[in-house]
Amino acid sequence: MKLINVPAIYIASDKIKTKDEKERLKRLLTKINSDNIIEMPSNLIYHKLLQEGLFKRENRTGLIKHENPIIIFSGFNWQEEINNPRKGKVFIPYREGQFNFADFRDKNQLLSEKGVYCNSGFEIHTAFGCFNSCKYCHVGKTYTIMLDIEKFIDNLEILMKNNPQQNLYKYDNQCDIPDLEPEYGAINKIIEFFSKTDKYLMLYTKSNNLDYLPSFDQHKGNTLVCWTISCDDVAKNYEINASSLDERVEAAKKCQDKGYKIRFRFSPIIPIKDWKKKNREMIKKIFDKTMPEVICLEMLCHMNKEQCNSLFPDLELPLNENITEYGLFSDEEKIEVYGFFIDEIRKYDKNVKLALCLETEKVWKELKGKLGVNPTNFFCCCGENCV
């Protein structure tokens, strides 16, 4: 990983106990530096940063942020019910500073509360935060890195046995794990675990830091890699510290050459000036070098009108009159944008699986002919049985 300087590092003295955990911390501290390193019990860290408002998710959305997040090295509380690997399929709302090793993504709740379609499934986590500082992101000003990877794998095994219907596990949509490697030493351990099962791991990233990934004879085809990807101008101007478009495409090619199935998520799609030309160039770059098996599409969302206007003053498409969480743009505008992407992708590959991410019934209905699927049977990047 790159050498990173951060404002402060908190080390949870009561959570880092085993030899593996201590060695993992030592390795990460060779790359993550701070003049302010504090060691104290995890509950005191939590209450201190909670009082300072540093766990709030909205602290980055719409802001230009240059300072790296505060780092918290800790471990899961395996006695808490939220970390019970035998728990049912219950959606757990966001709680400040309280993170669990697996979240259940409930498509029925999303449809009833937000009016958008999704595929259910457990998503797995070992860290919560990011160094990328994408301007549209809601990730807050802290980065919690759990060091008890061996216990995580033990509990993941129990979770999998109690949910035999799930075949694909997304890791990790709360951070960009590859940027911590290989010092973190989590990804290759988890890949090794999945290689001995009949289940699949999906690495979810913007990173090009993937050269350490094992070859096919070690991952055995049980690991996929999915990049969120944006046109060159969006990557340069709004995805601060993230890998460039060219770097992501090159990383995808390298992974493909190692026998990894690759996927792309065009997210968020932002209709900046000349968006058609710039995204047409992006799509060509992708298919010049790679053969993705799945591509998902999602328009910019998760922000209000003021935030959007501040970040993107020159959008080519108007904002929705009545903005909702997944309705920053009207269904009609989204149908136009998605239609363009589908047509451009199909120029290169007639068979790659396409899907919409978190979209309304109206948008799905208008585009199901182009997509070849509908919202009740679509194959997407991270659905529990999308392998």
Q: What confidence score (pLDDT) does residue 101 get? A: 95
Locate 316 and state its tokens: 């080519």
Helix (H) or strand (E) holding 48: helix 42-51
* Residue 304: partners with Cβ closer than 8 Å, 6 or more residues away: 323
Q: Report pLDDT for 65.
A: 53
> Distance (Å, rounded) from C-alpha 290 to C-alpha 327?
32
Local structure of 175: helix, strand or coil? coil
Closest by Cα among 44, 34, 24, 102 to 68: 34
Of 226, 171, 194, 207, the closest CA to residue 381 belongs to 226
What is the helix (H) or strand (E) element at residue 149, kind and residue range? helix 149-161
Q: Tell me how crowded residue 196 is: count the other CB atoms within 10 A of its CB.
A: 10
Beta strands in 125-199 (DSSP E): 127-128, 142-146, 168-171
> What H or E segment, with its residue span, contains residue 15?
none
- Spell out the per-residue pLDDT of the chain, length 387, in tens: 999 999 999 999 999 999 999 999 999 999 999 999 999 999 999 999 999 988 876 655 655 555 789 999 999 999 998 899 998 887 777 778 888 999 999 999 999 999 999 999 999 999 999 999 888 887 878 999 999 999 999 999 999 999 999 999 999 888 999 999 999 999 999 999 999 999 999 999 999 999 999 999 999 999 999 999 999 999 999 998 999 999 999 999 999 999 999 999 999 999 999 999 999 999 999 999 999 999 999 999 988 898 899 899 989 999 999 999 899 999 999 999 999 999 999 999 999 999 999 999 999 999 999 999 999 999 999 999 999
What pLDDT does 164 receive?
Answer: 95
Class of domain 4-371: alpha beta
Q: What's the pLDDT score for residue 260?
A: 97
Contact (CB, 8 A) for 90 and 83 = no
- C-alpha 319/C-alpha 305 separation (Å) is 8
pLDDT of residue 91: 77
Task: Return the domain boundaries, the chain.
Answer: 4-371
